[in-house]
């Protein structure tokens, strides 16, 4: 394992949304816990990616041999906050066979005929996998609230419902890591403008992005209450400043890696007689059977 002590403070401590966390004064351009420069951060991320890759393989091996553990990384953030970049650059460092990705957009006709957790449940990672959710059930207390898609009397009870549901996941062996990527209003504007300036980015833009941006304050309020109500002991929120993409990726890598280190996964013991297997295999070494 490489040196995790390059961090001045554990990002799981400094980024955790605890009591008194104030989303309005939160600096989205900061690098909490990391006092070194960008180049050092990028090098550290590559090194920790190698650790993460081995941890992923151990988790996978555990799942293949009867283990019930899995990891679920939930990504939330407004447009341009960098959710896709986390999937590509952080999750992309491990074997894709060990991932279970899911992206949650506007619910389909079928999904709308079910409880809002139904489509989420179906995409939970199986044992041995790292699930990554690009948006999640939290949309049901964010966009649903901001756009008044259901009355407050319907969405407000969801905080408790989500906490209880995540409790069940954790009890079942899933480690839940919730990441909110928080971009500043100015930076979001620049990133959207870049999509308009570059023809190879036009496909990522829609006029709806400007509409959503106009609801900025309502979203900040919705995020603030979401943190207050659903950052639990069993499934805490980590609020990650996202104006510096290199920092956000480094921080998520470190949070994920440290959390998986704490699982203390060994390699599964052989379920067969190794000496006997070696003898049986040795007997086949001479030449192919006719």
Residues of this chain that bind its own copies (CB under 8 A): 61, 64-65, 84, 87-88, 91-92, 95-97, 99, 101, 103, 134, 185-186, 189, 192-193, 196, 199-200, 202-203, 205-207, 210, 213-217, 267-270, 272, 274, 277-278, 280-282, 284-285, 287-290
What is the maximum span of the chain, computed from C-alpha positions, in angstroms? 75
Q: Closer to its own copies at the Cβ: 113 or 282?
A: 282
Separation CA 261–CA 257 (nearest Å): 6
Which helix (H) or strand (E) segment holds residue 120: the answer is helix 118-122
Q: Closer to its own copies at the Cβ: 74 or 87?
A: 87
CB of residue 125 to its own copies, shortest distance in Å: 13
DSSP per residue over 31-91, as a string? -TT--S-HHHHHHHHHHHHHHHHHHHHHHHHHHHTT---EEEEEEEESTTSSHHHHHHHTG
CB of residue 58 to its own copies, shortest distance in Å: 9
Q: Which residues contact 169 (CB under 8 A, 6 or more apart)?
A: 72, 124, 176, 235
Q: Closer to its own copies at the Cβ: 46 or 154?
A: 46
Q: Closer to its own copies at the Cβ: 183 or 240?
A: 183
Separation CA 68–CA 166 (nearest Å): 16
Q: What is the chain's percent helix, strand, coil content, to nearest 5?
A: 50, 10, 35
Name 77's bridge partners. Answer: 181
CB of residue 273 to its own copies, shortest distance in Å: 9
Q: Answer yes or no: are the C-beta atoms of 188 and 79 closer than 8 Å.
A: yes
Q: Closer to its own copies at the Cβ: 92 or 157?
A: 92
To which residue do tokens 């007689």 refer?
A: 273
Q: Closer to its own copies at the Cβ: 167 or 213?
A: 213
Q: Closer to its own copies at the Cβ: 154 or 277?
A: 277
Separation CA 65–CA 269 (nearest Å): 9
* Pair of tokens at residue 211: 């509409």
CB of residue 161 to its own copies, shortest distance in Å: 29
CB of residue 203 to its own copies, shortest distance in Å: 4
CB of residue 217 to its own copies, shortest distance in Å: 6
CB of residue 80 to its own copies, shortest distance in Å: 11
Q: Answer yes or no: are the C-beta atoms of 223 and 139 closer than 8 Å.
A: no
């Amino acid at each position: 394992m490489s040196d995790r002590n390059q961090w001045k403070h554990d990002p799981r401590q400094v980024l955790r949304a605890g009591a008194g966390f104030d989303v309005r004064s939160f600096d989205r351009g900061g690098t909490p816990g990391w006092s070194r420069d960008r180049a050092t951060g990028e090098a550290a991320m590559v090194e920790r990616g190698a650790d993460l890759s081995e941890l992923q393989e151990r988790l996978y091996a555990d799942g293949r041999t009867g283990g019930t553990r899995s990891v679920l990384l939930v990504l939330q953030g407004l447009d341009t906050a960098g959710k896709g970049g986390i999937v590509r650059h952080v999750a992309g460092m491990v074997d894709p066979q060990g991932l279970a990705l899911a992206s949650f957009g506007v619910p389909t006709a079928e999904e709308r005929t079910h409880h809002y957790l139904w489509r989420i449940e179906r995409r939970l990672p199986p044992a041995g996998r790292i699930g990554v959710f690009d948006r999640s059930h939290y949309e049901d207390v964010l966009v649903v609230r901001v756009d008044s898609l259901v009355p407050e009397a319907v969405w407000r009870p969801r905080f408790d419902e989500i906490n209880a549901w995540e409790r069940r996941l954790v009890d079942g062996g899933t480690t839940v890591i919730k990441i909110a990527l928080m971009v500043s209003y100015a930076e979001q504007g620049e990133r959207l403008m870049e999509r308009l300036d570059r023809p190879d980015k036009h496909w990522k833009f829609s006029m709806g992005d400007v509409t959503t941006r106009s609801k900025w304050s309502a979203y900040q309020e919705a995020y603030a209450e979401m943190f207050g109500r659903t950052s639990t002991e069993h499934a805490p929120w980590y609020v990650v400043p996202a104006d510096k993409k290199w920092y956000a990726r480094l921080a998520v890598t470190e949070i994920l890696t440290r959390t998986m280190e704490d699982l203390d996964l060994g390699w599964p013991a052989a379920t067969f007689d190794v000496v006997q297997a070696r003898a049986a295999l040795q007997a086949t070494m001479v030449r192919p059977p006719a």
